[in-house]
């Protein structure tokens, strides 16, 4: 990514390091510090800064809400990891694994409150607008997480339901990050709407790419297990479309593989499902869908009445996310 | 309680019923609805309305943040009950018992976000002040809960540490509720500070009374188990002061009773600890301490430059809390 983006990322990182977390009681704040210290791509606060910059706002003013949004994102990870029983996050033990579930609950709660404090550090005249976007987004993210959990125990999930779930769980937060930057810069409502939609499309494509990488990514290169979603019986975009397009026999095999009484081993299961995906050309179909979301995103970006040069950084970030390999 | 107070309580109840919670996904919102529908004394929102009324503000303007504070309180109950592994709340199964821990985590999170939305429904010119008080309080309540959990595994807890824990866990929220009402009414900073301190003293006395009622209350009358705190090895105000005042033999017996290898039954343990409390006159000492907090609270109230008639409702609420039997 270019120098400007790298500069913003460095700024974000140095501000995150300065968040005062060396507080008492230690058992409450150390897990917060641990969670924030384990990295992450910092894409969300970057989006806030880039949107602010694009609309000609002051980065300094966008930094506190940008940090707040990153803190909120980390709060969702802490709580989601409990619910998903995830042992690892960013190659380190999750908070509930390293400490326990109670710690992850309460440290998450305080992290949420701290995120609210940062988000409200904006000029008075935009405070309400910033809060309205933020609280609405928090509620939607919770709804998305609930749908995700609901879908685990459901037999059938339609493509439309799945897309709405990932829109809520994954896409509205980047969208809100961009809108927040736009609000700080004083962008008009119609432009706020456009940058929000841009973020939503990028977020949807981002999640589809996650689904795709899980099966078709170069796992050896990145030390990740191939087909983790398949092993966990996740009804991903790929699975749902394979179920739609498959022959009766393929449908039956897919359902069998995802049923509780499937008895073969994990790697056999991944091979079976992956081979059905390949027979049905699901990889290509998914890539087309991602491409369509990216095109839609770029249409929203193009429709904003600013010189192309101003949009370059955001376009570059979107390109990077589109082609990411992990 | 008087007609005015009853009117406010009815208003609060009818507004709580109108909070739109018949939303999708049901698995997220039903537990919220369940938790709010199981009653509770609604003391906290009442405090907001009474403080607003005392300082001559408009009740209509205080209602949304009052509701927000009650929602926040219910959020803390939902998460605390998971952490404390509590099976019952207000004589009904807790959310994590009726559903599961994941449900209680996520429904709690969305309830927190909804509480933020209500709290921010105040006029623009006081929004920041209201938020500053609220977020600070949320963080303190989390810190209090953490200290409470920390103390469980500690051998010694001083009276000072215990009081600071209950100040954070229990007392700052009523204090913030009162200050919020005062802010809505446009009270001066010095009066906001006084009403906050009044609430803090009431909150401390409230928790000491809880500790006292657990051992010395009329449990048969209210169908509650006597000595629940003793059975759970809670280092309450009573226990800490008995340890301080007791002879070496009494100290030894108390420590033994609270140790992991204490082998006698629950009712024997309660009898033993209670008899030591009685020998040491702990009940009277605790009642004096409560009385001192109430006196301090009334001093703060008296120091507010308003006619006594305006303070009557709040004084009556404080009296009621002072003498409550459950």
* Cα separation, A105 vs A80, whole angstroms: 10
Question: Is A319 within the bounds of a domain?
Answer: no
Q: What is the pLDDT of residue A276?
A: 97
For residue B145, list chain A residues with Cβ-Cβ distance below 8 A: 106
Among the partner-chain residues A25, A113, A143, the one whose CB lies closest to the CB of B28 is: A143
Residues B60, B71 contacting (CB under 8 angstroms): no
| Residue A121 vs residue A217, higher pLDDT | A121
Question: Is A308 within the bounds of a domain?
Answer: no
* Among the ranges given (A43-47, A322-326, B199-203), the one the predictor scored with the smallest mean pLDDT: A322-326
A208 with A80, same domain: the answer is no
User: Does the pLDDT at position A220 exceed 70?
Assistant: no
A181 with A205, same domain: the answer is no
Q: What is the pLDDT of residues A81-97, one digit of tens each?
A: 999 999 889 889 999 99
Q: Which residues contact B84 (CB under 8 A, 6 or more apart)?
A: none
Binding-face residues of A in 141-160 toward B, CB within 8 A: 142-143, 145-147, 149-150
Other CB atoms within 10 Å distance of the CB of residue B71: 25
A276 with A180, same domain: the answer is no
* Cα separation, B196 vs B198, whole angstroms: 5
Q: Does B188 touch chain A (CB under 8 A)?
A: no
Residues B253, B272 contacting (CB under 8 angstroms): yes
Q: What is the pLDDT of residue A101?
A: 96
Q: Which of B83, B113, B133 is the best residue to mutate to test the A interface, defined by the most A CB atoms within 10 Å of its own CB?
A: B113
Instruction: Using pLDDT thresholds of 50, 70 and 90, give the confidence band for residue A224.
Output: low
Other CB atoms within 10 Å distance of the CB of residue A223: 8
Q: What is the pLDDT of residue A219?
A: 66
Closest residue in B to A121 (Cα) is B128
The distance in angstroms from the start CA to the end CA of chain A is: 16
Q: Which residues pair with B93 in a beta bridge?
A: B88
Domain boundary among A187, A210, A241: A187
Residues B243, B254 contacting (CB under 8 angstroms): yes
Question: Is A311 within the bounds of a domain?
Answer: no
Q: Does A117 touch chain B (CB under 8 A)?
A: yes
Question: Is A315 within the bounds of a domain?
Answer: no
Q: Does B114 touch chain A (CB under 8 A)?
A: yes
Question: Is A310 within the bounds of a domain?
Answer: no
Q: What is the pLDDT of residue A261?
A: 85
Q: Does B113 touch chain A (CB under 8 A)?
A: yes
Among the partner-chain residues B25, B139, B149, the one whose CB lies closest to the CB of A110 is: B139
Q: Does B312 touch chain A (CB under 8 A)?
A: no
Among the partner-chain residues A83, A102, A131, the one whose CB lies closest to the CB of B83 is: A102
Cross-chain residue pair A25–B143, CB shorter than 8 Å: yes
A156 with A293, same domain: the answer is no
* Cα separation, B304 vs B191, whole angstroms: 6
A275 with A221, same domain: the answer is yes
Other CB atoms within 10 Å distance of the CB of residue A284: 10
Q: What is the pLDDT of residue A275?
A: 96
Question: Is A5 within the bounds of a domain?
Answer: yes
Q: Which domain holds residue A296?
A: 200-300
A102 with A146, same domain: the answer is yes
Q: How far is CA A210 from CA A111, B254, B274, in A?
A: 26, 57, 60
Nearest to B227 by CA among B178, B277, B293: B277
Q: What is the pLDDT of residues B168-184, one digit of tens each?
A: 999 999 999 999 999 99
3-class secondary structure for A60-127?
Answer: HHHHHHHHHHHHHHHHHHHHHHHHCCCCEECCEECHHHHCCHHHHHHHHHHHHHHHHHHHCCCCHHHH
Q: What is the pLDDT of residue B220?
A: 61
* pTM of the model as a whole: 0.96
Q: Does A85 touch chain B (CB under 8 A)?
A: no
Strands B88-89 vs A92-93: parallel, antiparallel or unpaired = unpaired
* Cα separation, A267 vs A50, whole angstroms: 42
A157 with A207, same domain: the answer is no
Å from A14 to nearest chain B CA? 24
Q: Spell out, as residue ranges, where chain B has pLDDT lower than 70.
A: 219-225
Closest residue in B to A147 (Cα) is B25
* Cα separation, A139 vs A136, whole angstroms: 5
The distance in angstroms from the start CA to the end CA of chain B is: 16
DSSP, residue by residue, B65-113:
HHHHHHHHHHHHHHHHHHHTT-SEETTEE-HHHHS-HHHHHHHHHHHHH
Question: Is A320 within the bounds of a domain?
Answer: no
Q: What is the pLDDT of residue A221?
A: 57
A244 with A145, same domain: the answer is no
Q: What is the pLDDT of residue B219?
A: 66
- Rounded to the nearest integer, the mean pLDDT of chain B is 95
A53 with A17, same domain: the answer is yes
A116 with A241, same domain: the answer is no
User: Does the pLDDT at position A1 exceed 80?
Assistant: no
Q: Does B315 touch chain A (CB under 8 A)?
A: no
A166 with A98, same domain: the answer is yes
Q: What is the pLDDT of residue B180?
A: 98
Q: What is the pLDDT of residue B321?
A: 92
Q: What is the pLDDT of residues A180-201, one digit of tens each?
A: 999 999 999 999 999 999 999 9
Nearest to A46 by CA among A11, A95, A80, A96: A11
A48 with A135, same domain: the answer is yes
Domains identified in chain A, total number: 2
Domain boundary among A156, A187, A218: A187
Question: Is A134 within the bounds of a domain?
Answer: yes
Q: What is the pLDDT of residue B325?
A: 81
DSSP 3-state of A39:
coil
CATH number of the structural domain spanning residue A167: 1.10.600.10
Q: Which of B25, B81, B108, B125 is the best residue to mutate to test the A interface, defined by the most A CB atoms within 10 Å of its own CB?
A: B25
Nearest to A79 by CA among A20, A171, A146: A146
Nearest to A162 by CA among A271, A281, A289: A289
| Residue A59 vs residue B221, higher pLDDT | A59
User: Between chain A and chain B, how many beta carbons pairs sit less than 8 Å apart?
Assistant: 103
What mean pLDDT comes out for the span A17-35?
97
* Cα separation, B122 vs B128, whole angstroms: 10
Domain boundary among A129, A153, A187: A187
Cross-chain residue pair B105–A102, CB shorter than 8 Å: no
What mean pLDDT comes out for the span A303-319?
97
Cross-chain residue pair B128–A128, CB shorter than 8 Å: no
């Amino acid at each position: 990514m270019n120098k400007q983006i790298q500069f913003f990322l460095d700024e974000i990182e140095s501000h995150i390091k300065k968040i005062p977390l060396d507080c008492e009681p230690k058992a409450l704040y150390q897990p917060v510090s641990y969670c924030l210290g384990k990295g992450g791509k910092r894409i969300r606060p970057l989006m806030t800064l880039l949107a602010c910059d694009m609309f000609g706002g002051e980065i300094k003013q966008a930094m506190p809400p940008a940090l707040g949004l990153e803190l909120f994102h980390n709060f969702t990870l802490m709580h989601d990891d409990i619910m998903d029983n995830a042992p690892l996050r960013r190659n380190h033990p999750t908070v509930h694994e390293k400490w326990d579930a109670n710690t992850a609950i309460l440290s998450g709660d305080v992290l949420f409150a701290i995120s609210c404090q940062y988000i409200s550090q904006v000029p008075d005249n935009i405070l309400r607008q910033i809060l309205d976007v933020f609280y609405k987004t928090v509620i939607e993210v919770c709804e998305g997480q609930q749908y995700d959990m609901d879908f685990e125990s459901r037999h059938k999930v339609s493509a439309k339901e799945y897309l709405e779930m990932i829109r809520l769980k994954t896409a509205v937060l980047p969208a809100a990050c961009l809108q927040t930057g736009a609000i700080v810069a004083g962008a008009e409502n119609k432009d706020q709407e456009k940058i929000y939609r841009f973020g939503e499309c990028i977020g949807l494509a981002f999640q589809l790419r996650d689904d795709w990488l899980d099966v078709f990514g170069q796992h050896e290169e990145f030390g990740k297990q191939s087909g983790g979603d398949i092993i966990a019986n996740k009804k991903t975009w790929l699975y749902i479309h394979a179920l739609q397009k498959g022959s009766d026999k393929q449908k039956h095999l897919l359902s069998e593989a995802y049923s509780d009484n499937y008895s073969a081993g994990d790697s056999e299961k991944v091979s079976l499902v992956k081979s059905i995906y390949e027979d049905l050309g699901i990889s290509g179909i998914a890539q087309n869908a991602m491409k369509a979301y990216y095109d839609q995103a770029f249409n929203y970006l193009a429709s904003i009445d600013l010189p192309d040069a101003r949009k370059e950084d955001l376009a570059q970030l979107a390109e990077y996310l589109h082609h990411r390999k992990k």
